[in-house]
Every structure is written in C-alpha cells, then in structure tokens.
C-alpha cells in the first residue's frame, strides 16, 4: 500500500509533467493526498483526467461569483479549485454558488476541503445526486459509495454554512449549572498555595 507521502510526491511531479506550474502542482499533490486520506478515489480520478487533457479542451475559470454555466465545454477542476482557494475570503460572503459542468468534480472537491479549513466553516457540496459535507479539512461525510471515477458533474452546488451551536441555550444553561458543582470555594489555604512560593524555599 502506498503511503500518503508517496502519493503526494508522485502527484506533484505528475502534475508538473502534465503542464502545471510547480506551485499549482504542490497544491494538487496536497489535495489528492486529502482525498485518499478520507477514502475517496482522488488518484484514480486525477490519472484519468490527465489522460483526457491530451485530447479534450477544458475551460478555465479564474473569477468566482454566484453562478457559472459552461454549456460547450467542462470546467478544469484544478484551475477552478485553485481559483476557489485564492478567493475563499471573498467567496465566503456569497454563501451559495452554482456551477454547471465540471470535469472530474472529485478533484475540485479536494480544494474545497482545504478552503473549509481556511475560513473555519463547513462547506456542503452537491454533485448531482451525491452530497459531501466538508468539515474544516478534518473529514468528509458523503453518500458517494461508488468509490470510482466521477467523470463529470452536471449541476454542482456549493454552500458555505455559517457556524452555529448544535444545542439550545437552555441545554447549555442546564449543563453549565451542573458543571458549577465542580467549582471549589476559595479558602485562605488555597489562596496561599496559589500565590506562588511557599514559606520554605528549597533552592
């Protein structure tokens, strides 16, 4: 079994050989490593994508806004992923973005996972019937059970989820009140111990 370090290194070199800059290639290596770590077929999809680049034309998208519809060709998942990472601070205010026709969207997904960590928010991405919840680049919950090639995404929706508690204010107050039972009442002896050095100096 190949280590994650091996996967990242080979992907980086292969991406450079495929025509991407070293900087972009490093980002691709990190992103595919993430997919493999979370059990998603990153390397498999990237390998096939590089084969298709030899005889297919993919559209680059550099500026991200609310809606993107490419009817003639598919968007390049790497260029799109890099653009998303670079602009994630401004994209955060858009909240929901829709794309039509992204080639090998699993590759694009890996860049969004890293974006989730940067802004400290969860990102929900829907690729046709498949859903992926990206959690700060720590894990990816999904219903993608095929674990094989995902050649294209017809409709892709990306939603940035604002942070909120998973419990009510009343539940918090109840638990906090219970926690108060561990508070220790401050006494003169505790004050003396907490003040620093004692009465004897062993130095």
- The domain total for the chain is 1
Residue 156 lies in domain = 4-161
Would the pLDDT of 190 be above 80? no
Residue 11 inside a domain? The answer is yes
CA dist., res. 43 & res. 125, Å (int): 20
On whether residue 146 sits in a domain, the answer given is yes
As a whole-number percent, the residues of the chain with pLDDT over 70 amount to: 90
Report the mean per-residue pLDDT for the chain. 89
* 201 has pLDDT over 70: no
180 part of a folded domain: no
Give 3-state DSSP helix, strand, coil % of the chain, rounded to 5.
45, 20, 35
Residue, of 145 and 73, whose pLDDT is higher: 73
pLDDT tens digits, one per residue of 144-189 = 876 788 888 999 999 999 999 999 999 999 999 999 998 876 666 6
Answer yes or no: is 170 within a domain.
no
Question: Is the pLDDT reported for residue 77 higher than 90?
Answer: yes
Q: State the pLDDT at residue 170.
A: 96
Q: Is residue 192 part of a domain?
A: no
Output the pTM of the full model.
0.82
Q: Has residue 34 got a pLDDT over 80?
A: yes
What was the pLDDT predicted at 28? 97
Residue 188 domain-assigned (yes or no): no
Residue 72: the pLDDT is 76
61-85 average pLDDT score: 91
How far is it, in rounded angstroms, from Cα 28 to Cα 38? 16
d(CA 82, CA 86): 6
Write down the pLDDT at residue 187. Answer: 64
What's the pLDDT tens digit per position in 104-134?
999 999 999 999 999 999 999 999 999 999 9
């Amino acid at each position: 079994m190949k280590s994650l370090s091996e996967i990242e290194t080979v992907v980086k070199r292969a991406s450079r050989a495929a025509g991407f800059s070293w900087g972009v290639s490093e980002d691709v290596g990190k992103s595919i490593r993430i997919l493999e770590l979370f059990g998603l077929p990153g390397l498999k999809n990237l390998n096939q994508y590089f084969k298709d680049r030899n005889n297919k034309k993919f559209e680059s998208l550099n500026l991200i806004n609310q809606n993107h519809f490419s009817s003639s060709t598919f968007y390049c998942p790497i260029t799109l992923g890099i653009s998303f990472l670079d602009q994630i601070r401004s994209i955060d205010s858009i909240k929901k973005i829709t794309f039509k026709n992204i080639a090998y969207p699993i590759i694009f997904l890996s860049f969004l996972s890293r974006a989730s960590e940067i802004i400290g928010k969860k990102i929900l991405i829907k690729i046709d019937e498949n859903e992926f919840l990206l959690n700060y680049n720590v894990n990816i919950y999904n219903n993608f059970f095929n674990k094989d090639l995902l050649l294209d995404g017809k409709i892709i929706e990306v939603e940035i989820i604002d942070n909120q508690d998973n419990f009510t204010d009343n539940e918090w107050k109840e638990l906090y009140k219970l926690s108060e039972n561990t508070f220790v009442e401050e006494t003169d002896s505790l004050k003396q111990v907490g003040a620093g050095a004692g009465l004897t100096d062993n130095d």
